[in-house]
Every structure is written in structure tokens, then in C-alpha cells.
Chains A and B, each alone.
Chain A
Amino acid sequence: MAQPRVVVVGAGPAGVRCAEALVAAGIRPTLIDENRRDGGQIYRRQPESFSRPYSKLYGTEAARAAAIHSTFESLRGQIDYLPQTLVWNIEGHSLYLVRESRHITLTFDALVLCTGATDRLMPVKGWNLAGTYSLGGAQVALKSQACAIGNEVVFVGTGALLYLVAAQYQQAGARVRAVLDTAPWSARAGALPSLLAAPATLWKGLLLALKLRSAGVPVYTGIEPLEILGTAENGVSGISFKDSGGRVVELRCDAVALGYHLRPETQLADLARCNFYFDPSTRQWLPQVDPDGRTSVSGVYLAGDGARIRGANAAENSGRLAALAVLQDLGQAPAVDTVAALRGSLEKLDRFAQGLSQAFPWPAQHAGRLSDDTVVCRCESVSVGELRQVIQQTGACESNRAKAFSRVGMGRCQGRYCGHAAAEIIAHAANVPIEQVGRLRGQAPVKPLQIAAVESASLPASVEEAK
């Protein structure tokens, strides 16, 4: 019998561990990744010509990064690796890829989506000014290009990544003007029992915060951002916010990094027609998965942050678990102990993730207070006021309906960056519960697709043979 074709999308920690477990079971998976090099976002590798040491690039996570990279290197001969390849659509058990501006169709028996996460964003007036980056974007600039986003950077938002990126900038020699956290200090106390599920990670987080403080970086908690200041010509020149006491504070800076924790990249799961459910604790729609990563669609699995935000360590284990689920569904009996151990560790990390979302909550309440002239959808340049007006005039209170009338979420990001905030604005303006607002339906292409890229190419020889 021909070998089953197992395709893994994403070469971050989840994808690499998944591929590793598949190879160990005698399968030659196809590993597709959009990036030039493996590692995903968190363990993103620098260009070959750069020579910064791991300790400098990954800090406390250097050993884990090295382990993932060396595992990937050791797998190279046993997998079909397609870097710089975009999966732009899925239909049934066929993937539609673009590689080097050529189109490829690839069929699969099992598909493991390890598509990771991007920043979860809440607009703030002025966030469309040059010099505003997402936290993830600020981190990519540093890791991949050894660049800071500005000379004097303010970090705004909430979540672990806020402190991590600020600390990385500080360490790299950038001037961190301040860290502005929307979460009140008190939220952390309530989250402590859950956070103790992963004491080592908690300790690392506390050390980061201490390091920033001892470096003299002002850290404000319980703030509300008011405006990123500046001009269209010269970009960011400062930021104003309300501190926890309600006083308006203005800081000068030339760049702002913004982010409120992460959101899973679920467009491929959506195109594969997986079911989604509303998660009230994080106020977002997530793909349904069983503890091992099986979705509602037979043959489609999710692992890592692309399923649910649980962090890099959980990604590795969920990648392994998804591989074992694939093997089991293909008729190979998995080692019961391994599955149990992996599930056990994931349960702990689940609790920790819940603690994080409790300690650093998504500031839904800010959406209702955004000024009308704040841009909500940057792709289509739609203001909060225009969205509110559409809701008022048309009665549209469902995301896709509001999108049809207002263009919010219609642009090149398809609402990945504005969708959550737009949903909160709609819920507030129409006075309906957030779950009733629904979620923006994903449409192909997952990322912009060049029209000329439709000429077919053939697959690399080894992938072709496996067909």
C-alpha cells in the first residue's frame, strides 16, 4: 500500500515536533512553511549571513530554540520541506499552494495545521501613523533584521509578549521609553492559582518584569491608551494615555509597539470548513478540537497556537499529540503512556494559559470608548464612527453583514487584525452580546495571491513520487 500523504503546515515548534513524531513512525511528511527558514515566529531564525548567538536572539529560550532548530535539521532528509510556500486555499483533501509565483495542487490523507498566531489588536486613535507596529512585528524586526522599530519605543497593550518584547528591546540596546499595560495589577493576584500551573514560566515572566524595572523602564498598569500622537508626514511623536488613577499622561517617543496577547491564525481551518465555537473567557471564536487536535473535519488536525493560544511549550506537545492522533486514525496504535503524558502536560499549560488571559484580559470595554475618528480597519481606511453609523442606519449587528455595508474586514488582511475589535464595537453600538455578533467568515486567498501566479508548476520530485 502506498504511504499515506501527511501534510504539516507551519514549521514552528508545533509543526517541527509533529513532523518529528511522524518520521519516527515511518512516515515521510510534507512540511509546508511560508517563511524562508524554519522556526516559526517564536524561534524565527535570522538570515544565514547574520551571526548573533542564540543567547542574544532568544534569551531565556535559547536552549529550546536550539533544540527545535537541530531537530528540524536532523529531519531534513526524511521530510519533504517546502519553504516560502503559501497555502492559499483548501478544498476537500486538496491544498492549493503558491511557490515561487507558480501554482501547485497537493492532495493529502491527513493535514495538520500548525499555523501559529498573530497579534490581537485593539485600535487606538493614531495607530495608523508610521512608527506604530504590532508587538509581533517589533519582535520580527529585531530577530530577523537586527533592527529596532525606533530610537525611543513605547510598548502598549497587555500580555506576556508585551513584557518579553520590551525586555528584548532593552537588552538589544534600544531605549524602552515605557511599558503601558492595560491590565490592572490586581488582575494578576486573581490569576495566580492558575499561573502556578507552570511555575517555571511564571518565574521567567516575573524576572522579565523585574529586569525592566531595574533597568529604569517605567511600567504603568491599568492604563487606557488615548492617542498615538504625531503627523501623517513625520509619523509617531508620542502617546497619551490615562493612568490607573485617571490622570492623562503624555510621553514622547518615535515608535509604538502595540498588542493585546495573541490570536490564532485560523483561516486555513476555516477554509477546511472546521467548526468554531465561542470562547467566553477570551471573547473570541476558536476552532473546535478534541484534546489531541482532531477538528470537526475528518483528516484535518490543529496544533500549536493556531488552535488556541497556549504558548511555545504547549505547541511542541500539541504537535506531537496531533501526529499521534494522525497515526492512530491511519491505523497505527500509539503508545498509550506517551499520549497520556502529553495530554497531562497540555492540561497544565491550558490552566496556565487561562491564568494569563485572566491576568492580562482583552480590554473589550475600551471599544465602546474609542473616538469616532479612530481608524478601525486600516486596510480599507474605515473609521470607528463610520462603522457605528452603518450599524445605526442599517441595523446590521452581525460581523459579516456589517462588513458588507462598511467594508470593515474586506481588505487584504480580511479582518485578521481588526475583526476582534470591530466585533466589540458592533456589540457595543448595537447593544448585543459579543457572541451574537459572530465571526468574519474566512475566504481564500489566505494571503494576497498574484493573478499571474496561476500558471502551474510541478512538485519537487520526492513529493511527486509519494503521490
Chain B
Amino acid sequence: MSVGIGRPQAVSDVVIVGGGIMGSSCALFLRQRGLTVSLVERGLVGQQASGVNFGNVRRQGRPLMQLPLANRAIASWRRMKELVGMDVEYLQVGHVRVCYRDRPELVEEFERYAREARAYELDLEILSGVAMRARFPYLGNEVLAASYSLHDGHANPRLVAPAFGRAARRAGAAVFENTHIVNVEKEGADFRVTSDDGRVFRAPVLVVTAGAWGNLLSTQFGEPVDLVARGPTMCVTEPVPYSIRPSTGVFTPVEQETVYFRQITRGNLIIGGGTRGPAYPDSCRAYVRPENTLRQLKQIQRLAPALGRLNIIRVWSGIEGYMPDGLPVLGPSERVPGLYYAFGFSGSGFQIGPGVGETLAELIQTGTTTIPLEAYRMARFSSAPRGGCVASRAS
């Protein structure tokens, strides 16, 4: 299937499909390594999962094997102003994870995680009783213990990916917004990437950072994954005096109880978590279910009862791609040389985003990386022998 005969829209070293935080940061890091880049985005840069998420910049709670990636990302977050040229409201104000009295066994999990995370330069302090209440007086009576990460924090997700996109553009990347890619194929040594209006982008390297739409592209290379699109349940309160610094959330195996909030310096509290709603990738819309908002607001009062006196002024959602095991596909394709994936971050890609972009750029330019990517391999979903088809398919 060949569309768009004639001169391609763009020829570059790398084509990136998907302008979220992964794709836009990858574009910038590739430019810093001197490669030419076309970044192609279906809508506007940072409009979906990267722009609508809660905004936690936390390492605490991530799987241990992900901490090296998270640590690489933290280095970017700490110099974000210099990296993207603007203040993205990144605040290193700490992150608190709590568990409730009805699940005392989770305290042991806090302790075990804190012990093991120390090897990855993540220092956590476990508090309970009077010490916890003195430090975090806003926590409700049901809270049993808190695990506190001093160096985590939060940022404004609406600003970050677009800022990466603009920084990439300033650094020389060609950014194509409102460009809906429908066809991807390998033609000789090059990938041929075609939009619904027939424009063609060519490059020897293709990076798929298309979030909830990633599966539509990987399937075209014979690598389908079981990705489900869902929308986070988010809301924000009116501004009140800035008084709660750390981002605070509940650790529980029950989805409905998993709520969290953070306060921004202008005073509003942002509330997220709980039951996720439906998302419609075809029409690029996701809706907040009113029942989910009601449940979330009930749960948030267990975490911090004083929030009950505040008003919420707005809810929102967006489209996130969820994988069966909650981990993304990240790294080279198992079948097609020159093809890289980074999608399906399952609602927890924001903090590691810049680390993913940097690692992809490193991998593409040098062919290797020190960041462990084994757990994110596409092959974990297939029963086929690892890499079995690569040699026969690549030509």
C-alpha cells in the first residue's frame, strides 16, 4: 500500500510518532545528540495523557527495577528550566504515601520497599502515630502510617510536554501537529510513515510514542499488544491559602480507594485517582463519569477530612493507554530493526517521561543504554521464542 507518490513531507534520521512527553522529550534529546528529527502528532503536543495527568513527579512506589530510569528522569526535572526554557511549576516538596488502619499489613510493605529502594538512592521515612500526625496534621483518623519521600514532588503537566516540543523545535526538530498517521511500514532501509491526508515522512529510525494509539501502529509491524484506553478521574478545588506541601496519596490494592491530591502554590488542590472512566481514542475524547467523581470525593475525605469544606470547580479527563501488567512497552522492536517503542505507560509515565526520552535517544544513537529495559520488552506478551522472527523479517 503506497500513498503520497512524489516528494516526502520530511526526510530525517528519526521519525517520532506521538507528541506526548515521551516523544517530545525524545525529540529534544535526539537533537542534542545531533540527529535530525521529525516529530509527528495527531492533535497538539501534550494534549492527551501527558497534559491531563495528575502531575506527580514521584519515584516512590515505582517498581524497583524502574528506579534507575526514574533517577535519570529526576536529573532532567531538576534542570527543567534550563532544559526546556520555562518554569513548568516543578516543586520538589515531597511525596507522602499512606495506608489505612484496615490494612495494617501494608506497613510492612512500606518498610520493605524503603529498605530496598535505598540501593537506588531513594530515601524514604516511615512515620506513624504522633510523629506522623505532627508532620502531616491534615491526614484523617483512618490513616495508619505514612511513607515520606522528601525529594519527590509535582509539576504542571499542561506545560511540560508542550515546552519540550517547543524546545525541540528551537533545537531544530521539525514538529508536525494535527497530523494523523494512519500507515507505517518499512520500505528498504527506511520507514515510510503516512498521514491520513497523504503526507509521507521517511527515516531509517521510527519511534512510536503514541500512547493509547501506540497499539494501532505496533500492530502494523505484527506486534499487537493488549492495550486498553481509559481516562483518569481528575478535579480541582478553588484556591485556598497554600499550606500542604507534599503530594499525598493512598496506597491500597483497591482501585476506588487509590486517591491522591496535591496543592499548587496559587492555592488550588488537584485531586486524582479512584475509578478511571471510559476513553474514546477514535474521537480523541474521554469523559469523567459523575459517579466516579462522587466516589473520589468521598474517598478523598478519608485521606484528608478538611478537604470536605472545599468546593471543586472543574473536572477533567484525557486518554491514557493501559497495559495488562501496568508496565509500558519500552525499547527496540523484537521484529523490525530501527523501530523503537515507548507507549502504554498505564497512567504512570509523567515522572519518568524525560528519562524515557533521554534513554531512547541514547539507545538510537549508541545502540545501547545502561538503563535496564528488560521488563518492558514487547516479547513479554508473546509465547513466541524471543526475537525469533527478527532475522527473517528484516530485509
Contact = CB atoms under 8 A, between A and B. Distances in A.
B308 A448 contact: no
B72 interface: no
B290 A96 contact: yes
A449 B311 contact: yes
B147 to A, nearest CB: 25
A448 B313 contact: yes
Given A405-B159, A405-B162, A444-B288, A454 B294 contact: yes
Interface in A399-420: 401, 404-405, 410-412, 414
Nearest to A95: B290
A414 B294 contact: no
Interface residues of A, number: 24
Interface string B281-299: 0000001111101100110
A335 interface: no
B313 A451 contact: no
Contacts of A454: 294, 297-298
Contacts of B47: 401
A451 B293 contact: no
A452 interface: yes
Interface in B11-64: 44, 47, 51
A430 to B, nearest CB: 14
Given A451-B297, A454-B294, A445 B316 contact: no
Nearest to A409: B314
A290 interface: no
Contacts of B313: 411-412, 414, 445, 448
Contacts of B290: 89, 91, 94, 96, 444
Interface in A406-459: 410-412, 414, 443-445, 448-452, 454-455
Contacts of A455: 298
A401 B294 CA distance: 27
A394 interface: yes
A103 interface: yes
Interface of A: 89, 91, 94, 96, 103, 393-394, 401, 404-405, 410-412, 414, 443-445, 448-452, 454-455
Shortest 8 CB-CB contacts between residues of A and residues of B: A452-B308, A448-B311, A89-B290, A404-B158, A454-B297, A412-B313, A96-B290, A454-B294
28 contacts: A91-B287, A393-B166, A394-B166, A401-B44, A401-B47, A412-B238, A412-B311, A412-B313, A443-B314, A443-B316, A444-B290, A444-B314, A445-B312, A445-B313, A445-B314, A448-B311, A449-B311, A449-B312, A450-B311, A451-B237, A451-B300, A451-B301, A451-B309, A451-B311, A451-B312, A452-B308, A454-B294, A454-B297
Interface of B: 44, 47, 51, 158-159, 162, 166, 237-238, 287-291, 293-294, 297-298, 300-301, 307-316
